[in-house]
Amino acid sequence: MQPANLFLLTLVLAVLAYGFGYARSRSLAMPLGGIRHLKSLPFYYGARAALWSGIPALLVLGLWAAFQGKVIQLIVVGGLPPELVPNTEGQASLLLSKISNVASGALPVGFVEAPIAEAAERLQALRAQSRMLMSVLVVAVAVLAGFLGWLRIRPRLNARSQVESILKWLFFACAALAILTTVGIIFSVAFETVRFFGKVPFTEFIFGSQWSPQTALRADQVAAEGAFGMIPLFTGTLLISAIAMIVAVPVGLLSAIYLSEYANRKVRGVVKPLLEMLAGIPTVVYGFFAALTVAPFISDVADSLGINASSQSALAAGGVMGIMIIPFVSSLSDDVINAVPQSLRDGSLALGATQSETMKKVIFPAALPGIMGGVLLAVSRAIGETMIVVMAAGLAANLTANPLETVTTVTVQIVTLLTGDQEFDSAKTLAAFALGAMLFLSTLLLNVIALKIVRKYREQYD
């Protein structure tokens, strides 16, 4: 049975358990003189039986579905004749995809060696077996545990408090998922990063000024060794983020000031949602706009001025990214400006300062730390932005500060290295994880600092 169907079946079984539990508690209460002689309402007896039946079964289902693929792979590879057993991970993944292609019928059996065809057959048999076993096990667990839960219903059992404490633990597990996600992120990038630094020295990665990750596929190939210096990526990312900030910060800040200090309610009610609409547009749409409208426009304008501009200039990607970040900057600065106490504003106005003088000399300095925090958050968002740069910035890792040239960014390289055919274990693939680790660390650092500044600033006026 498919895991999705099995999941539904388990839910049905849990509902059945609820029904039986409910009925049993009522029938047990009958000779005693009604349900008021039960410790809890019948609902809780039913719910308890349902939880008993559902939770262990779903746990088994989840674990089995998560690990069956890997275990089957290991068994299949283990069953291969010794001369076929792959000795590197790259070969292993190649072999596995071959076997699964044969098993799924995409690759005719006649095209491959006999042991591989056998392995494919074994793979299919194992998959069927595993599915079968999983179905039997999950149903058995659901029925057995549900039956036990049902059997142990007594009038004096405090089902309510049991159900409540189980629920509380479930809620806790859901909240703790956030920690698990962070741990997952750290482990998934850390392992590969460490392996990457086994192949490419750390100093070369950090200080190298050459980035060309094309490694030779075969040992006898004349292709370049592959250079993994992240400085050009780093400067490219910074260049594009800086352009984005040059667009987003003044526009976002000034529009926030205008909306919070000058605009009447009507204007605010119209303009604010429109600005927020900019934030709701998917990044792939901005990428489309940058690559197909803004970039050709910029290169046409530059041509007519007699300047040479690349068709994938940093300016196009950065400018459009800036537009995307405007609402982010403006809503954060709006919060911060509104948090400045009215008394400061009133004091300044009472001394005869104009509104703009109050803004520039009193409110802005008071709000500055908060605004800085907001800008840092915006920078971290610009660094991590992917689709706009994938579509509008190029792949060439140029070390330049000229916004009309092509640069590439960390996120572009991650996407390029990891889409399409990939071979695990090659320095190329691992490099993507190392870049991911750098990206994660730098955005994390920026966020932590920014949140700290914002929080500290808030406390100042609370």
Among 47, 153, 239, 257, the residue binding other proteins under the rule CB under 8 A is 257
Which residues in the 302-361 window bind other proteins by CB under 8 A? 323, 326-327, 330, 354-357, 359-360
d(CA 355, CA 409): 42
Least Å distance, CB 176 to other proteins, is 7
Residue 178 vs 219, nearer CB to other proteins? 178
Length of the chain: 462
Give the residue among 308, 53, 20, 58 at the shortest CA–CA distance from 153.
20
Residue 224 Cβ vs other proteins, minimum distance, rounded to whole Å: 25
Least Å distance, CB 47 to other proteins, is 11
Is 234 among the residues that bind other proteins (CB under 8 A)? no
Of residues 395 through 424, those in contact with other proteins by CB under 8 A are 411, 414-415, 418-419, 424
Nearer to other proteins, 366 or 376 (CB): 376
> What is the C-alpha separation between 205 and 228, in angstroms, rounded?
5
Q: Which of 45, 145, 192, 334 binds other proteins (CB under 8 A)?
A: 192
Size of the site for other proteins (CB under 8 A): 96
Determine the longest span between alpha carbons in the chain, in angstroms. 98
Q: Does residue number 364 form part of the binding site for other proteins (CB under 8 A)?
A: no
Site string for other proteins, 63-92 (x = CB under 8 A): ---xxxxx-xx-------------------
Q: Which of 122, 127, 131, 160 binds other proteins (CB under 8 A)?
A: 160
What is the torsion angle, in degrees rounded to the nearest 10, for the CA atoms of residue 440, residue 446, residue 452 and residue 456? Answer: -160
Within 271-300, which residues bind other proteins (CB under 8 A)? Answer: 271, 274-275, 277-278, 280-289, 291-293
Of 375, 433, 453, 457, the one binding other proteins by CB under 8 A: 433
CA dist., res. 357 & res. 349, Å (int): 9
Residue 227 forms beta bridges with which residues? 212
- In the DSSP assignment, the letter for residue 218 is S
Nearest to 36 by CA among 123, 129, 131, 155: 155
Chain residues 166-185 in contact with other proteins, contact rule CB under 8 A: 167-168, 170-172, 174-179, 181-182, 184-185
Say which residues have a Cβ less than 8 Å from residue 138's Cβ, sequence separation at least 6.
6, 9, 10, 57, 60, 61, 64
Assign 3-class secondary structure to 379-407.
Answer: HHHHHHCCHHHHHHCCCCCCCCCCCCCCC
**Both tokens assigned to 438:** 């750098």
Q: Which is nearer to other proteins, 125 or 448 (CB)?
A: 448
For residue 39, state whether it binds other proteins (rule: CB under 8 A): no
